[in-house]
Amino acid sequence: MTTMPMSTPQTVPAARPPAGGPPGPMGNMTPLDPVKLAKKYMWLLIIAAVVGGALGTAAHFILLKVHPTYVSEVIFEIKPPEMDPSVLWSDKGRADEFDRFMATQQARMVSVQVLEKVAANPMLVAEAPNWTKPFVKGGQVNTIEATEELAKVISARALSGTSYIKLTAKWTNPVDVTGLAKLTREAYQRDIISSTNIIANQQRDAINATIQKLGQEIADLNTRRERLLREQTVDSLDDKATSLGQQQTLVLNQLSVVNQTMTALNTSLAQMEQMRSAETGITYSDTQRAAANQDAIVMGLRQQLKSMEVEMQQLRQQGIQPTHREYKRLQARIDSINQQVASSIEEALARNFDAEYDGLKRQIQSYQAQNAKLSSEAESLRVQLADLMKTITEIEDIQRQVNELISARQEAQGSLNSLNEQAGRDTAGRVAIFSSERKPNQPSFPKIYIMIPAGVVMLAGLVGGVVVLRELLDQRVKGPSDITLLPRARVLGMVSSAEEDPSVGERVGMVFRDAPSSVLAEHFRQLRTVVVKHMHRHGHKSLVVLGGMPGSGSTTVVTNLAMACASTDLRVLLIDGNFRRPALHRLLKVTEAPGLADALAGLAGVDEVIQHVPGEAKLDLITVGSSEHRVYERLGAHQMGELLSAVKERYDLVLIDVAPALVSGDGMAIANRADASMLVVRALGETRGMVARLRNELDDCRAELLGVLVNAVRSAAGGYMRQNIRVSRAYHTPGMKVGQSVDHEPGKD
């Protein structure tokens, strides 16, 4: 039998994963198109609005029967105060007084005192018999419970921008609500008449107490200021502050000089310590060696050496040779003295170095003492200066407080004078009835024109909120836009669902050949352009087409992509690497064996396993092979790399179909032997989290990940996909105009 040729696969450096945009502003949630979403759920929202309107109408009649609300109102007009012509009032002061008076009267109308008077009024049972029934026990009205309920029924508010206050009574019976408004109005009028003098006296006492308190605070502050001024005058404090500041600056300058000197000395000391600890010993400078040569011991030895050299010269003059005993003795003494000189110089160098080292340490200690002294002095000056400035600030603050208290006392005295001038004037004279209570002839709630829109808004809003929440939390991949939300993810394209195009037959796997004018065939042409361009640009020839989950349609995609590429005169080889559930041999109607499994087992050569696809001039196929030889581990072994290297020399493009990544690791294994990979996911079948995980795993493989293809994309209502399909079908259908409606559109909502 013929064996497969063995060749070393080419090593192609792994490409950098394509950069993708960062996650959207909503993180993992899908950004929503409001217009598209409204069109998609238009009928649901319309139904919700209609049902909401019906519920609002029903609620209106139910509330009108069970619990209507009637309102009776009393409007009071508040008049400005009578001003003394001799007293000048500013516009702001006049407006503030009027606003305070209105706020006081508004609170008084619904105060506990007024409501208790209403509850205790003997006319309550006659004026509001139905409202009073729950509070009548033993023939007497329970005033405590009635007062608590009146606080819920009676309200008052100032009409913005006017001088009117509206007193309102709300209940379910028009007669009772009119009686409650009447009794509350009368109780309020009696209350403001009886409390006029009491309030004036209370205000006068409060103002006098405030004036006395302000006077005592002024006296205390003056005493405190005088005590501080007795200790030291403000002028002397200013001079002292200037002097302390100058002293502080001088000390800080001296401290800076000391720190700079210490830094230089520490640097020199560190250098000497480094020289002492060096393995090569201390390297002395020329200056240090010159000083060592001037050492007394060294000078004495050198003097002896000169005498011996003179003596040696005399021996030579006497004709004594170097071999003579006396000559040798003298030479030995000279050598000994030379050694002593060298030794003495080293000792002097070491001694001088130690002396210099100790001197540096003493200098550093001296400067450290200076630094500590100057730092202490600087800190003391800082504390003194801070205390001094605190005293000056305290005196200035006391003066400011005194001035403010004097102004406040003057203002309080003016208020007291004004109150005394106003004494005796009737507060009730400033409150007049503009509109008295009337029996309402129709309820204020419910209103049909309010209930119907409220029902529409509430139910439509609830349904819309549920729809938006559902869309935001839906993690399924619905189209290419969902893939762009993933970091570093690239979209290769999309293929619409076969149900969107009635021109596609039952064999979707052969749609490019069986329905070349269909929308799906056009999508595969677009995918072919992107894939072939990228493969040629990077010199790739083998491409693994990997599906995410079973049913993702990777076999359909790889078959139609192979036919699309072969139609452009490219030599294409299709390899069925799905050892789990092979389908290419059935789809293309060829024999199952021999095939890939036999070639990887060494039982067949490349020529034996390659079959020509009927009806395709440039398309060949390697089927899955014999079932007994399908060893999954061989898909990622060197045999697979050798086979790919062999077929890449014969074909322009090699497409490999593999088992889905979710159920098998075969695709990842082959991706470590191929040049490139492509992930196929099914719309509404896979989640973005699973796609992100598979993308990361493919990024770690040797093959370059070209991107993600979204398969079986369905058109959403109002989306661009449906319009594109209609236009494309109309364009390819003879006699049909672009924009003309088409009967029987599968998948139409």
Q: 215 lies in a domain?
A: no
How many whole angstroms separate alpha carbon 530 and alpha carbon 527? 5
User: Are residues 63 and 122 both part of a single domain?
Assistant: no
Are residues 493 and 533 in contact, defined by beta-carbon separation less than 8 angstroms? no
User: Are residues 248 and 360 both part of a single domain?
Assistant: yes
- pLDDT, averaged across the chain: 82
Chain centre distance of CA 490: 24
Structure confidence by residue, pLDDT tens digits, 94-153: 788 888 988 999 999 999 999 999 999 999 889 999 999 999 888 888 999 999 999 999
User: Are residues 63 and 75 both part of a single domain?
Assistant: no
The pLDDT value given to residue 281 = 75
pLDDT at 453 over 80: yes
Structure-model confidence comparison of residues 517 and 646, the more confident one: 646
* CA dihedral sign of residues 519, 521, 522, 527: positive
Say which CATH number the domain at 312 has. 1.10.287
Structure-model confidence comparison of residues 308 and 528, the more confident one: 528
pLDDT at 669 over 90: yes
Binning pLDDT at 50, 70 and 90, where does residue 657 land?
very high
Residue of 518, 626, 540 lying closest to 576 (CA atoms): 626
- Report the percentage of the chain scoring pLDDT > 70: 86
Strand arrangement, sheet containing 542-547: 491-496, 704-713, 676-682, 542-547, 653-658, 572-577, 619-622, 610-612
User: Are residues 562 and 710 both part of a single domain?
Assistant: yes
Query: How many independent structural domains does the chain possess?
Result: 4
Q: 208 lies in a domain?
A: no
Instruction: Compute the average pLDDT of residues 260-266.
Output: 88
Pick the range with the lowest mean pLDDT from 29-33, 66-70, 190-194: 29-33
Q: 60 lies in a domain?
A: yes
The pLDDT value given to residue 741 = 44
pLDDT at 36 over 80: no
pLDDT at 51 over 50: yes
Residue of 273, 296, 297 lying closest to 356 (CA atoms): 273
pLDDT at 428 over 70: no
Say which CATH number the domain at 574 has. 3.40.50.300
Binning pLDDT at 50, 70 and 90, where does residue 485 land?
confident
Instruction: Compute the average pLDDT of residues 208-225.
Output: 85
Phi/psi at 197 (5° precision): -70, -35
Last residue of one domain, picked from the residues 473, 507, 534 = 473
Binning pLDDT at 50, 70 and 90, where does residue 716 land?
low
Say which CATH number the domain at 120 has. 3.30.1890
Q: 488 lies in a domain?
A: yes
| Start-to-end CA span in the chain (Å) | 59
Are residues 495 and 524 in contact, defined by beta-carbon separation less than 8 angstroms? yes
Pick the range with the lowest mean pLDDT from 180-184, 196-200, 406-410: 196-200
Q: 8 lies in a domain?
A: no
User: Are residues 507 and 519 both part of a single domain?
Assistant: yes
Pick the range with the lowest mean pLDDT from 11-20, 108-117, 414-423, 441-450: 11-20
Structure-model confidence comparison of residues 351 and 92, the more confident one: 351
- Asked if residue 446 has a cis previous peptide bond (ω within 30° of 0), the answer is yes
Count of helices and strands (H, E) across the chain: 25, 14
How many whole angstroms separate alpha carbon 427 and alpha carbon 599? 112
User: Are residues 158 and 261 both part of a single domain?
Assistant: no
pLDDT at 748 over 50: no
Residues paired with 347 in a beta bridge: none
Binning pLDDT at 50, 70 and 90, where does residue 88 land?
low
Binning pLDDT at 50, 70 and 90, where does residue 678 land?
very high
User: Are residues 499 and 576 both part of a single domain?
Assistant: yes
User: Are residues 484 and 348 both part of a single domain?
Assistant: no
The pLDDT value given to residue 729 = 60
Binning pLDDT at 50, 70 and 90, where does residue 728 land?
low
Last residue of one domain, picked from the residues 342, 357, 381 = 381
Instruction: Compute the average pLDDT of residues 298-313.
Output: 85
Structure-model confidence comparison of residues 91 and 558, the more confident one: 558
Strands 704-713 and 572-577: unpaired
Are residues 504 and 523 in contact, defined by beta-carbon separation less than 8 angstroms? no
pLDDT at 635 over 50: yes
Three-state SS at 417: helix
User: Are residues 182 and 286 both part of a single domain?
Assistant: no
Last residue of one domain, picked from the residues 163, 194, 225 = 194
In residues, how long is the chain?
A: 749
Q: Cα dist. 705→556, 575, 701 in Å?
A: 20, 19, 8
User: Are residues 184 and 86 both part of a single domain?
Assistant: yes
Structure confidence by residue, pLDDT tens digits, 576-630: 999 999 999 999 999 998 999 999 999 999 999 999 999 888 999 999 999 999 9
User: Are residues 465 and 500 both part of a single domain?
Assistant: no
The pLDDT value given to residue 420 = 65
Binning pLDDT at 50, 70 and 90, where does residue 26 land?
very low
The pLDDT value given to residue 132 = 92
Chain centre distance of CA 402: 51
Two tokens, residue 746? 């599968």
Binning pLDDT at 50, 70 and 90, where does residue 688 land?
confident
Instruction: Compute the average pLDDT of residues 212-238.
Output: 76
**H helices within 278-324, ranges in order?**
286-293, 296-317
Residue of 714, 700, 233, 699 lying closest to 501 (CA atoms): 714
Strands 653-658 and 572-577: parallel
User: Are residues 553 and 681 both part of a single domain?
Assistant: yes
Instruction: Compute the average pLDDT of residues 16-40.
Output: 54
Say which DSSP state 660 is in: -
Is the whole-model pTM more than 0.85? Answer: no
Instruction: Compute the average pLDDT of residues 438-454.
Output: 88
The pLDDT value given to residue 734 = 58
What is the residue range of 291's domain?
236-381
Q: Which residues contact 689 (CB under 8 A, 6 or more apart)?
A: 475
pLDDT at 298 over 60: yes
Buried b (16+ CB within 10 A) or exposed e, 122-145: eebbebbeebbeebeeeeebbbee
Q: 112 lies in a domain?
A: yes
> Amino acid identity, residue 310?
V
Binning pLDDT at 50, 70 and 90, where does residue 413 land?
confident
Are residues 677 and 597 in contact, defined by beta-carbon separation less than 8 angstroms? no
The pLDDT value given to residue 11 = 37
Residue of 108, 153, 159, 112 lying closest to 134 (CA atoms): 153
**Most confidently modeled of 87-101, 312-326, 680-694?**
680-694
Q: 229 lies in a domain?
A: no
Q: 744 lies in a domain?
A: no
Q: Quick one: the chain helix, strand, coil %, rounded to 5?
A: 60, 10, 30
- Report the percentage of the chain scoring pLDDT > 90: 32
Instruction: Compute the average pLDDT of residues 478-482.
Output: 80
Residue of 688, 582, 669 lying closest to 630 (CA atoms): 582
How many whole angstroms separate alpha carbon 579 and alpha carbon 631? 8
- H or E segment to which residue 101 belongs: helix 91-109
Pick the range with the lowest mean pLDDT from 123-132, 180-189, 269-278: 269-278
pLDDT at 324 over 90: no
Binning pLDDT at 50, 70 and 90, where does residue 71 land?
very high
- In 366-514, DSSP assigns E strands to 431-435, 491-496
Are residues 170 and 431 in contact, defined by beta-carbon separation less than 8 angstroms? no
The pLDDT value given to residue 27 = 43
The pLDDT value given to residue 590 = 92
**H helices within 110-233, ranges in order?**
112-120, 124-127, 129-132, 143-153, 174-194, 196-231
Are residues 194 and 375 in contact, defined by beta-carbon separation less than 8 angstroms? no
Residue 678, exposed/middle/buried by CB under 10 A (0-12, 13-18, 19+)? buried
